Structure 1
Amino acid sequence: MLILRSVALFAAAALFEIGGAWLVWQGIREHRGWIWVGAGVIALGMYGAFATFQPDAHFGRILAAYGGVFVAGSLVWGMVVDGFRPDRWDVVGALVCLLGVAIIMYTPRSA
């Protein structure tokens, strides 16, 4: 149950961070305006808040593991929102990153 909660938190954090960055991109690069940028900044703040709910107490470990989630999540976001089609090496890279997440976060440790 603890792992399921952690995975759900990583997924929510990815949605807020990637979505927030995308909103800022749309606001500035695609000239959609400062409302989009502001919404992006709020979403990025929510990403930071969700990270604090992870069960592990070590910020460095959480952020390092989240990096792998961000890589995979960014490819999924690109596919769903922007019509991007990753090639096999994108997929292999994302899977390697997710393996790293699993090792960092969920490998048993001695106390």
Structure 2
Amino acid sequence: MSVARSLLLFVLAAVAEIGGAWLIWQGVREHRGTWWIGAGVVALAAYGFVATLQPDAHFGRILAAYGGVFVAGSLAWGMAMDGFRPDRWDVAGALVCLLGVAVIMYAPRT
């Protein structure tokens, strides 16, 4: 398994899922309309397909590891798109989650 390919797929999945959820949020909560909501639905569907491209064959492992990417990616998205400023505990939690990703996905298997 190529770690670089796997990481790229995790990033693409995060952009699709977090971006899709953000678009729906904007459409509903910020009253930007149905086009934003529709774009969010399309992005969320894309996330479902991107996740299947991971080289590992175990659904549970992929989704568990992706959870850590989602946590860190959500904080990053909030910083980039909404001016959110994480505190040290947000950052610490995200780093713990990313450590979990590394252990789950890339630890040597016997």
SS at match of 2:78: helix
Q: Which residue of 2 aligns with 1:99?
A: 99
Rounded to whole Å, the distance in 2 between the matches of 1:41 and 1:107 is 34
Q: Which residue of 2 aligns with 1:7?
A: 7
Map residues 24-39 of structure 1 onto 2, 5 A cutoff: 24-39=24-39
Deviation by residue 1:20-50 (Cα, 9 ceiling, x = unmatched): 0000000111111111111000000111111
Q: Which residue of 1 aligns with 2:53?
A: 53
TM value normalised by structure 1:
0.97
Runs of 4+ with >3 A deviation? none
What percentage of residue pairs aligned between the two structures are identical?
A: 75
Q: CA RMSD in A?
A: 0.8
Which structure 1 segments of 5+ residues have no match?
A: none
Which structure 2 segments of 5+ residues have no match?
A: none
**Displacement, 1:8?**
0.3
Q: Which residue of 1 aligns with 2:78?
A: 78
Rounded to whole Å, the distance in 2 between the matches of 1:25 and 1:77 is 13
**Displacement, 1:105?**
0.3
TM value normalised by structure 2:
0.98
**Displacement, 1:84?**
0.4
**Displacement, 1:3?**
0.2
